[in-house]
Structures are given as C-alpha cells and as structure tokens.
Amino acid sequence: MYSHSYLTLICNPSRITSHSATFIDHIFTNELFNINKIKSGLLIDDVSYHLPIFSIVCDDNDDISSENIVHFRKMRYCGIINLKNDLFSYNWESIIGNSNADDAYDTFVSF
C-alpha cells in the first residue's frame, strides 16, 4: 500500500487480547493533501473481539473539535443478550422482502 502512496489512518492495534495486540483492521487513503481534514481512530468498546474503527472526512464547512459532545450507551453482557433476543424475535421479512430501499429503511427505523 505504501508503494502506491497510500497511508493508513489507523495507527493503533484493533484486536487486543491478554497475550497480543495486532493491527488487522485498516483504513487507507491516498488523499495526502487532505490528510488534515480526516479524523480517524478506534472506538473503545467490548461489543466484539475487534475494536470498531472509524474515519470521518470533513469538508471546509465542517467543524470537528474536541469540544463536540459524543453520546453513547455502554451495554453490559445482559444488555447484549437482550438485544440479540430482540433482534432474533423480530420478523425481518417486512424489511428484507421490500424492494424499495426507502420503504425498508422507514420500516426498520420505526420498530
């Protein structure tokens, strides 16, 4: 990737265990002249054995600063089990079987 002028935006390991830390999740860019307009990193969460990674590309009108407030909800193991049970109990046919993406999205966000 480097030989083709791509840089990685993720500079920390995203899979961490008790005996190792590996860089196996990547986001690459060749927009080197806009590198200061890209915010990226890891989300510290225990939803999976990989930490979620993200990248946000800003335009000149975006205002990203450390003062922006981020809201999140920490889910405990029992909350994850309840979420999985709710997802498995839902009849997804009204979403999956819908050929109109807008209607499927409206149905999804309404439940």
Domain boundaries, the chain: 1-61, 75-111
Q: How far apart are CA 62 and CA 41, in angstroms?
A: 18
Classified as helix, coil or strand, 93 is: helix
14: nearest Cα among 57, 56, 49, 55: 49
Q: pTM score, two decimals?
A: 0.47
Res 31: pLDDT: 77
| CA dihedral sign of residues 15, 20, 26, 32 | positive
Instruction: Give every CB contact of residue 49 below 8 A, 6+ residues apart in sequence.
Output: 15, 17
**What pLDDT tens digit does each residue of the chain (111 aa) get?**
888 888 888 888 888 888 988 988 888 888 776 667 788 888 887 777 788 888 887 766 655 565 666 666 677 778 788 888 888 898 898 899 999 999 998 888 887
Res 39: pLDDT: 84
